Amino acid sequence: MSDKITKSDTEWREILTPEQYQVLRLKGTEPPFSGKYCDEISSGTYVCACCGTELFSSDTKYDSRSGWPSFWRPIEAENVGELADTNHGMRRVEVLCARCDGHLGHVFEDGPQPTGLRYCINSASLDFKPSEE
């Protein structure tokens, strides 16, 4: 993985849309079934909307019926970071982009095999790069 990316709040605001900024930098959550990639089924790669780091492959995306894009594994374990999150009275594990510390979503242990994990990710945190056939 490439080096860490650090930018000021002002710089992130210039690069990101207000919705992306709210989710990625302020750890917001988009409303369920509202995100643009919730029902996306094309082949391709989902990268970080902040810094372009490759995060998830369409090969591991599945319909969790949660209302958010869901994956059972990141492309590379080292590309995502995890952090204990006890906000909102819940014990959850936050998922971040390892390169820019952008908030992506949370990971839960109710996903499909082979990992049993559900990476529940905001569409606003992602950019989809379709495969070139």
Q: Which residues bind Fe ion (CB under 5 A)?
A: 48, 50-51, 53, 97, 99-100, 102
| Minimum gap (Å) between residue 121 Cβ and Fe ion | 12
| Minimum gap (Å) between residue 8 Cβ and Fe ion | 15
Two tokens, residue 18: 């207000």
Nearest-angstrom CA–CA distance, 116 and 109: 6
Nearest to 20 by CA among 42, 53, 49: 49
DSSP 42: S
The yes-or-no answer on residue 120 being catalytic is yes
CB-count exposure of residue 81 (10 Å: 0-12, 13-18, 19+): middle
Contacts (Cβ under 8 Å, ≥6 apart) of 113? 72
| Minimum gap (Å) between residue 86 Cβ and Fe ion | 24
Catalytically active residues are 120
